[in-house]
Amino acid sequence: MQVPSHVEYERATGVEHALSLLSRPETRVVAGGHSLIPMMKLRLAQPELLVDINGLAELAFITLDGDQLRIGALARHADLLDSAVAGHHFPIFHDAERVVADPIVRLWGTVGGSLCQADPSEDLSAAFAATRATAVIRRLDGERTVPVREFHLGPYETVVGRGELLAEVRVPVRPGTGSAYEKVSRRVGDWSVAAAGAVLELAGPAERPLIVSAGIGLTAVGAEHFVAAQAEDFLRGRVADEESFAAAAAIAAEHCHPAADQRGPEDFKRHLVAELTARALRRAADRVTRPAADRVAR
């Protein structure tokens, strides 16, 4: 029988209340709890105080605000999977959410919790890294914004400090982009053996589109900040075709640092990174919605 160690429990009645509680040392936020509570049961986490933020409805939103998709930290995985506006602008989130845990867990687990748990095999961290999202972190005297690519300090460690709370994630919406996420896991609901997310912004003629910018997120393979930066740099300015994607995929596989474990040896994981990166790039390119003016011009 797995039982957490002794812990105090407080239910936050508002964001300010949560922030004041979070100023205490050895305090953890609990929302969905589907990562934290198992870790507490294994005594890998032994907080002295849990601050339950499930009642903070003001953090449970998904909305398009100008040229940003804003996702509240308390949005559940199931909410993001069901969100038409998120799926329209970023199919990568729907791809990823379909393979996060299982349908029951997705009803409870939150977007903010996934990022803050900072598991090195987590899917949304790679998806948000690929989309170059920004984390909004609240504290009693204001807020600060941190690019998701600088949010994780290492496994299970983030920049969110004492007295702070991740409030939302903002994703820049740009015309002419497409995105996709590809994951290999051993069974339903399992962590990735490897996974790759891609965002492509294309311009120019449809028969020979050029890559304006590329975002590639990787998870479970030791990619720094969940990003394949060298592959992104390689793609910028190139033609969006099979040749470019294959070369970028090879670069991504070369520059990550997978660890051999029960999910497979290192060379197998590098092979997966190359294959999944190429597939994600291909699918992202296929999904690019071209601006209306471009279609008229043709």
Partner 1 sequence: MTVNGTEYAREVEPRLLLIHFIRDELGLTGSHWGCDTSNCGSCVMWLDAKPVKSCTLLAAMADGGTVRTVEGLERDGVLDPVQQGFIECHGLQCGFCTSGMLMTARWLLDHHPDPDEAEIREAISGQLCRCTGYENIVRSIRWAADRAAEHAADRAADRAAGETS
In angstroms, what is the minimal distance from the CB of 9 to partner 1? 4
For residue 68, what is the enclosing H or E element? strand 68-72
3-state secondary structure of 271: helix
Rg value, the chain, Cα: 19
In angstroms, what is the minimal distance from the CB of 48 to partner 1? 11
* Residue 215 one-letter amino acid: G
Site string for partner 1, 27-46 (x = CB under 8 A): ---x--xx--xx-xx-----
What are the helix (H) ranges across 159-291? Answer: 229-235, 242-255, 266-286
Contact 244, 235 (CB under 8 A): yes
In angstroms, what is the minimal distance from the CB of 189 to partner 1? 6
Q: Which of residues 149-208 bind partner 1 (CB under 8 A)?
A: 188-189
In angstroms, what is the minimal distance from the CB of 24 to partner 1? 15
3-state secondary structure of 102: coil
Q: Which stretch binds partner 1 (CB under 8 A): 87-95, 99-107, 136-144, 282-290?
A: 99-107
Site string for partner 1, 238-277 (x = CB under 8 A): ----------------------------------------
Nearer to partner 1, 172 or 189 (CB): 189
Nearer to partner 1, 30 or 214 (CB): 30
Q: How many Cα atoms sit within 13 Å of 54 on the Cβ side? A: 13
Query: Any contact of residue 9 with partner 1 (CB under 8 A)?
Result: yes
> Alpha carbon of 295 to those of 179, 208, 290: distances in Å?
20, 14, 7
In angstroms, what is the minimal distance from the CB of 6 to partner 1? 6
Query: Any contact of residue 101 with partner 1 (CB under 8 A)?
Result: yes
**Phi–psi pair at 146, nearest 5 degrees:** -135, 130
Query: Any contact of residue 107 with partner 1 (CB under 8 A)?
Result: yes
Quickly count: other Cβ atoms within 10 Å of residue 215's Cβ: 26
3-state secondary structure of 46: coil
Give the footprint of partner 1 on this chain (CB under 8 A): 1-9, 11, 30, 33-34, 37-38, 40-41, 50, 52, 54, 101-105, 107-108, 188-189
